Structure 1
């Protein structure tokens, strides 16, 4: 099993669904440390009954993912899930390319785009707080992002050779199927695990993994579905931001004023050049958006 943080849920679901299976997880983040190149990784995986993997960037290992794919006939690729319609305000900022390049936030590396841009425009926390309202969300495109998000997810899955049109329809009927822009809920990963087993001709129990397994990703950051978006999608909404659980401690929740105060505190200690990214540049170049923020 090769994958990012989403891979843990797929691996656990496979172990549940396929009795007697032994799954070895290779986190994508550790491949560069553990393997010299893609050929070394490929040789280490030979002899397994099934290798399931998310595609990784070519620059991660010399030879790239295409070498692994070509050398392992029993390789099954599953998609990397990114879906922002429920959480359009959640972004990374910074140089990207690696975790070290992203700017920190009170919730690890996840930021509110409105909070970042409000800070960059010289607003204080109180004025930025007032921007969390329906007409602002509408102007920023937050209320009509479903179609674009769905197209992007479905296209990416199809490009990986794992089309998910049917599954996507079922996930949508269950409500919000993401904890954040890149953390799907366990029932999504469970469906992928079942599909990988079935398509490989391996047995799969007729059970729902989320009924038996803990959702590891719910211990990570959980971004709220803002009430105006939630109303549009027929979901419960809130402005409660959940931090990653550390050790055995309880989950820590930030309300919106508290989250903005914590965010601005981090931003004041962060070089301004690091608070950058595609959305910040696009908004700065849009007079209507800058006027919206400047009016508060």
Structure 2
């Protein structure tokens, strides 16, 4: 089966080498007369590419997804991308392309390539973790009811032998306080700003303040809302000398990443940011034309998570944070005690 990047390579050569000749023969006017722009990367790359198209509708803007395995080699990708005037790429590891090759090799072979930041921000979702599956060489994660997104509290509860009801009792403010979930903002902001400046050469401090004024700007740790990606696209244009026009992006924005899984902002944490929170977990649905999708409340999510962990087996359920909680008797006993106290008090949230 061809990957998205394989299909995009085919489309690129059709657009670049075939369509101009057809247009010349038929007299058809080609509308895309601006620069050719390629955006390569992870799940955020489409949103950046779309924003760039909004900023210049006459440009050819193509998205290459560095997710999954492609049949194309680095040689073919480089030959294809060399037809573009501007290339923007996220960091990506070897393994996506046949025969290897990562983003550093791409940049060395095509110096016109600009490294683009991928936004990561944990303050709204401090409980969200990934469970690595070391039996898988690429994207090796345990997938559960909400894809790769797991709750550290849920995993702890399962490994500590708690019931689903006892696990629900962990989802309360006294537990969040004990674990430092209310104190993540400063570290998350510092990491984002320092990495963006040191690794990518962009200062996002003003952008972060603007995003924060709009409330919760992430669907998960790695999935920002579309206006965040628009600002990243604008910064990338400025970096390569393109002048972003004044555009009301909110009128044209599409929330592409909202089709994927959405991890809730827990009520106690949302309150810190003046937002409304909940325990509604959205399942991925990339086929909105066929179905409106589905959601899980907290008991449903925990029940499904426990089934996932039971099926995977305890030897595959390693996460550094939860491992540390389990290994530290003081932390483990604190969480177990809070679970029992909250359960006795009837503090078992659902939504």
State TM-score, norm by structure 1. 0.92
Show the counterpart of 2:214. Answer: 174
- Compute the RMSD of aligned alpha carbons: 2.0
> Contact 1:77/1:161 (CA < 8 Å) preserved in 2?
no
> Contact 1:28/1:56 (CA < 8 Å) preserved in 2?
yes
Residue 226 of structure 1: how far off its partner (Å)? 0.7
1: CA distance between counterparts of 2:138 and 2:220? 17
- 1:88 pairs with 111, 123, 126, which one? 126
Residue 89 of structure 2 corresponds to residue 53 of structure 1:
yes
2: CA distance between counterparts of 1:208 and 1:188? 14
Residue 61 of structure 2 corresponds to residue 19 of structure 1:
no
1: CA distance between counterparts of 2:250 and 2:157? 39
2: CA distance between counterparts of 1:252 and 1:99? 28
Show the counterpart of 2:268. Answer: 228
What's the secondary structure of 1:151's corresponding residue?
A: helix
Name whichever of 72-81 and 103-112 sits farther off.
72-81
1: CA distance between counterparts of 2:240 and 2:124? 33
Show the counterpart of 1:66. Answer: 104
Residue 248 of structure 2 corresponds to residue 211 of structure 1:
no
Larger radius of gyration: 2
- 2:295 pairs with 235, 241, 253, which one? 253
2: CA distance between counterparts of 1:233 and 1:241? 19
2: CA distance between counterparts of 1:251 and 1:98? 30
Show the counterpart of 2:330. Answer: 288
Residue 144 of structure 1: how far off its partner (Å)? 0.4
> How far does the alpha carbon of each residue in 1:125-167 deviate from its partner, in whole angstroms, 9 at most, with x for none?
0001001111111111111001111111122212122331221
Show the counterpart of 1:269. Answer: 311
2: CA distance between counterparts of 1:275 and 1:26? 32
TM alignment of 1:28-177, pairs within 5 A: 28-30=66-68, 33-37=70-74, 40-57=76-93, 62=100, 64-95=102-133, 101-158=140-197, 159-177=199-217
What's the secondary structure of 2:264's corresponding residue?
A: coil
> Contact 1:240/1:253 (CA < 8 Å) preserved in 2?
yes
Q: Is there any run of 5+ residues in structure 2 with no aligned partner, and where? A: 1-38, 340-351
> Contact 2:234/2:244 (CA < 8 Å) preserved in 1?
yes
Q: Using a 3 Å threshold, how does the CA distance of structure 1 residues 28 and 63 change in structure 2: closer, same or farther?
A: closer
2: CA distance between counterparts of 1:218 and 1:88? 19
> Contact 1:78/1:162 (CA < 8 Å) preserved in 2?
no
Residue 121 of structure 1: how far off its partner (Å)? 0.4
Q: Using a 3 Å threshold, how does the CA distance of structure 1 residues 63 and 251 change in structure 2: closer, same or farther?
A: closer
2: CA distance between counterparts of 1:67 and 1:240? 41
Show the counterpart of 1:196. Answer: 236
State the aligned residue count.
294
Residue 194 of structure 1: how far off its partner (Å)? 1.9
> Contact 2:95/2:138 (CA < 8 Å) preserved in 1?
no
State TM-score, norm by structure 2. 0.78
Q: Using a 3 Å threshold, how does the CA distance of structure 1 residues 198 and 219 change in structure 2: closer, same or farther?
A: same
Q: Which has the higher contact order (CA 8 A, sep 6+)?
A: 1
Residue 186 of structure 1: how far off its partner (Å)? 0.1
Q: Using a 3 Å threshold, how does the CA distance of structure 1 residues 262 and 56 change in structure 2: closer, same or farther?
A: same
Show the counterpart of 2:45. Answer: 7
